[in-house]
Amino acid sequence: MIQDTVTDALLLRKPKFVISVLVIVFIAFFIGDPSLTAMGHFLEPVIGDPAESGLYGRFATSLMLAIIFVINLLLISQIPVFKYQVFVVWAELVVLFLTFFYSFNLSFEFIQSKIWFMITQGIFTTLYVSAISIAIASVIAVVGAVAKLSSNGFAFAIASFYTSFFRGLPLLMQVYLIYLGFPQLGFVIDAVPAGIIALSLCYGAYMTEIFRAGIMSIDDGQWEGSRALGFKFGLTMRKIILPQSIPLIIPPTGNQFIAMLKDSSLVSVIGVWELMFLARTLGNKTFNHMEMLITAALLYWAMTMVLELIQSRIERKYRKQTSR
């Protein structure tokens, strides 16, 4: 997106807009009734005992919060550098989130005693299950995409049946079907391979569509140019078409990988000791459910952020290459 160059167009320079924000935020707070929160205690000298302050207390605390919100907004808009603006907003949001979690009265000793195991066992399993699955899914996707684009009815039928089936069933159900269904056929299958198969097949189906779109986006001229030089299909695909579609395929594939990282939590239902499984089981004995869930949530988030970073690096690299 290209930004306009006129700063006067900024919404926050318009009093009308600022006042409407103030009013909307005030109403939202008023509905939520913040008089019993920390802000209510802070305003005790004005409104008396927050619990008995009634509508007046509710009004005062809501107005106070709304004003703080708007002042904060105006101050941030004054920061001249985009990067710092982003940083300040992120920092504020993180502090708010942490305060929110903190208010649960979590036992940090319990978290401390388990976190190392969650990382070595949970994150490790989650990562390797996801990595293997995405690798297999990519191979399935190339084959599936070629089959879907081919004029061979047999190949097209198989590929479209496959994508339709695996995109049409909930992943959780696929995990169960593979784990419980294979033994019916006489193959007893371990939980980890069953999870990997389910994830690969499901994401292979989605990625087939991504690869198909990537291949289709390459100009017909590239096929004709290759054909005119006498390249066979496989050679054209490998050396000409796929290398050019990779930059288009990477962003949605990165997206899929991030989604898979979290969907891998579904294989916890068949007893794979990945992060989600540990989050549910470790706190059971001592009723420290919240501790483990929040820790696991933050660990998932951290992994995702790392992946996002890697993805944007790769994208930048390919963008440089195409603009040369």
Partner 1 sequence: MSEPTQDSNSPIISIRDMNKYYGSFQALSNINLDVSIGERIVICGPSGSGKSTLIRCINRLEAHQSGTITVDGTELHQHMRDIDKVRSQVGMVFQHFNLFPHLTILENCTAGPMWVQKVPEEKAHETAMKYLKRVNIPEQADKYPAQLSGGQQQRVAIARALCMQPRVMLFDEPTSALDPEMVAEVLDTMIDLAESGMTMICVTHEMGFAKQVANRVIFMDEGKIVESNEPKSFFENPQSERTIKFLSQVLVH
- Structure-block tokens of residue 170: 């909930």
Judged by beta carbon, residue 128 or residue 318, the one nearer partner 1 is 318
d(CA 86, CA 57): 34
Instruction: Say whether residue 229 binds partner 1 (CB under 8 A).
Output: yes
Window 274-293: residues binding partner 1 (CB under 8 A): none
**Tokens 């980890």 map to which residue?**
192
Judged by beta carbon, residue 307 or residue 314, the one nearer partner 1 is 314
d(CA 267, CA 191): 8
Which residue from 257, 294, 258 is spatially nearest to 275, judged by alpha carbons? 294
Judged by beta carbon, residue 170 or residue 243, the one nearer partner 1 is 243
Question: How many angstroms separate the Cα of 223 from the Cα of each of 150, 201, 228, 233?
Answer: 14, 29, 8, 9
Instruction: Say whether residue 317 binds partner 1 (CB under 8 A).
Output: no
Q: Which of 13, 14, 239, 317 lies at the binding interface for partner 1 (CB under 8 A)?
A: 239
Element (H, E) at 164: helix 153-168
Residue 262 near residue 113 (C-beta atoms within 8 A) = no
Residue 131 near residue 203 (C-beta atoms within 8 A) = no
In terms of C-beta density within 10 A (0-12 exposed, 13-18 middle, 19 or more buried), how is residue 29 classed? buried
Which residue from 187, 200, 226 is spatially nearest to 140, judged by alpha carbons? 200
Element (H, E) at 76: helix 54-78
With contacts defined by CB under 8 A, name the span among 30-38, 112-120, 181-189, 235-243 that binds partner 1: 235-243
d(CA 253, CA 152): 27
Q: What is the DSSP letter of 50?
A: G
Q: At its nearest, how many Å lie between partner 1 and the CB of residue 301?
A: 36
Q: At its nearest, how many Å lie between partner 1 and the CB of residue 314?
A: 16
Instruction: Say whether residue 153 binds partner 1 (CB under 8 A).
Output: no
Q: Which of 13, 41, 167, 232 lies at the binding interface for partner 1 (CB under 8 A)?
A: 232
Q: At its nearest, how many Å lie between partner 1 and the CB of residue 227?
A: 6
Judged by beta carbon, residue 79 or residue 246, the one nearer partner 1 is 246
Instruction: Say whether residue 225 binds partner 1 (CB under 8 A).
Output: yes
Q: Which of 1, 96, 188, 228 lies at the binding interface for partner 1 (CB under 8 A)?
A: 228
Q: What is the DSSP letter of 2?
A: P
Judged by beta carbon, residue 227 or residue 317, the one nearer partner 1 is 227
Q: Would you give the binding string for partner 1 spanning residues 242-281, x where CB under 8 A is met?
A: -xx-------------------------------------
Judged by beta carbon, residue 153 or residue 221, the one nearer partner 1 is 221
Instruction: Say whether residue 190 binds partner 1 (CB under 8 A).
Output: no
Q: At its nearest, how many Å lie between partner 1 and the CB of residue 249?
A: 14
Instruction: Say whether residue 320 binds partner 1 (CB under 8 A).
Output: no
Window 191-220: residues binding partner 1 (CB under 8 A): 219
Instruction: Say whether residue 14 binds partner 1 (CB under 8 A).
Output: no
Q: Give per-residue burial for 204-242: e unless 16+ CB within 10 Å, then b.
A: bbbbbbbbbebbeebeeeebeebeeeebeeeebbeebbb
With contacts defined by CB under 8 A, name the span among 8-16, 40-48, 185-193, 231-239 that binds partner 1: 231-239
Which residue from 171, 223, 220 is spatially nearest to 197, judged by alpha carbons? 171
Q: What residues line the site for partner 1 (CB under 8 A)?
A: 219, 221-222, 224-232, 235, 239-240, 243-244, 321-322, 324
